[in-house]
Amino acid sequence: MIITDTHTHLYSEAFDEDRDEMMRRAMQNGVKRFFVPAIDSEYTERMFQLEKDYPNEVFLMSGLHPTHVKENYKEEIAHVASLLAERKFYAVGEIGIDLYWDKTFLAAQQEAFQYQIQLAKKYKLPIVIHCRDAFDEVFEVLEKEKGDGLFGIFHCFTGTKTQAEKAIGYNMKLGIGGVVTFKNGKIDKFLNEIPLQHIVLETDAPYLAPTPFRGKRNESSYVMNVLEKVASIYEISTEEVAKITTENSKEIFGV
């Protein structure tokens, strides 16, 4: 059984004490593919080191996270553009809009999001979307950019069934993580009405640990808890969920 964690911040400082052990635990649980989103330029070297340490398991993205869109965002998206021109990445992410923490930079977030979608189209790459308290704003940008070149993953999907169907309409898979295991997570109530071909699994480690680890540091091995919950929702085996969601990830990332 090969499991794919489509979204994990393995380079995070949260893993500095036990990164190799954490990776070993994940791989022993069947997690063989780790897709790693970017945050900003400060983490670039850490990401490259991670790829060097795990060349067969780790696949990198390039992008500017919306909560890191600040006064210097033009320099940051120029950094993203230069990296994409220099070497292979598997997606542009994570990008999007976050209005949970701060609305100050909404216009800059929208501009950065749209520009990075255009970069993804240029390099024929998927996008990985971060959306928090911003479904309308994210959909507004996607509407401007919709078409054959637009595809990717709506990371950490926590919306309604209607929003799920709308995201899928923009050629997005839904990234399902720890929230699906929460009592008040809500997405478990309608998820089985969404065909499994539109679903990929993720952890968002070290954030959003699934039940029973909620509130603790998340890690990629915990994608098993997400897998088991999704299997119970769809009433099929964990092996079948792992197979289908890994195939879905290959369709998106091309590897």
pLDDT digits (tens, 9 = 90+) for 174-219: 999 999 999 998 999 999 999 999 999 999 999 999 999 999 999 9
Q: What is the average pLDDT value for the chain, to the nearest integer?
A: 97
The beta strands (E) that lie in 133-227 are given as: 152-154, 172-176, 199-201
Can you tell me the distance from the alpha carbon of 152 to that of 198, in angstroms, rounded to the nearest whole number?
Answer: 11
DSSP letter (8 states) at residue 220 = G
Q: Is 90 exceeded by the pLDDT of residue 101?
A: no
Rounded mean pLDDT of 231-245? 98
Sign of the dihedral defined by the CA atoms of residues 15, 21, 24, 25, in that order: negative
d(CA 187, CA 9): 23
pLDDT for 218-231, tens place per residue? Answer: 999 999 999 999 99
pLDDT of res. 102? 86
In sequence order, the 6+-apart residues with CB closer than 8 A to the CB of 185 are 158, 179
CB neighbours of 12 closer than 8 A, spacing ≥ 6? 205, 206
Helices (H), 87-202: 106-122, 135-145, 161-169
pLDDT tens-digit map of 5-20? 999 999 999 999 999 9
For residue 255, the SS3 value is coil
- The pLDDT of residue 216 is 97
